[in-house]
Amino acid sequence: MVMNKDNIDKLLDSLSKSKFRGSFHLNNKMKDYCFDKGLDTVRSHAYDFINKTLRPKDILNDGKQTPYKQVHPVFIARHASGTCCRGCLEKIHHIPKGRELTDSEVDYVVEVIMNWIKREIK
């Protein structure tokens, strides 16, 4: 897995063309949250969410751990970017299930999420 902005941009461009993935967008309240809290804080939240709900080897409710409602921009970004569950992470990002994510994989997931959010708030 090579993490660079061009690869992430290509991936996000491709996912945005999906009927399902392309249907997710931040509402004005979520955009305001990003501006009010700042992207560093949102990134910190992303790390926290990923470490708790995606990093572990075994996830009790995998596939259902990411809310669809507009409760936090990271949740919406996770659905839009295919980083919502281990199944999507394996299918879209080729990161296998059945083991704990490495630090570099967590960094990659957070980078994908943050790039999607940055696109949304432009």
Rg (CA), the chain: 13
Identify the domain containing residue 17 by its residue range: 5-121
CA-CA distance, 60 to 21, in Å (whole number)? 24
Output the pLDDT for position 22. 93
Output the pLDDT for position 67. 58
| CA 95 vs CA 17, 44, 57, 73, 100: distances in Å | 22, 22, 12, 23, 10
Query: Average of pLDDT values for 7-26?
Result: 94
Output the pLDDT for position 58. 80
CA-CA distance, 117 to 122, in Å (whole number)? 9
Tokens representing residue 53 in the block: 């709900």
How do residues 84-113 score in pLDDT, each as one tens digit? 999 999 999 999 999 999 999 999 999 999
Nearest alpha-carbon partner for 66 in 120, 15, 9, 113: 113
How do residues 34-77 score in pLDDT, each as one tens digit? 999 999 999 999 999 999 999 998 877 665 656 556 679 999 99
Q: What is the number of domains present in the chain?
A: 1
Query: Which residues are within 8 A (CB) of 65 and not within 5 positions of it... i.e. 6 or more apart?
Result: 53, 54, 59, 84, 85
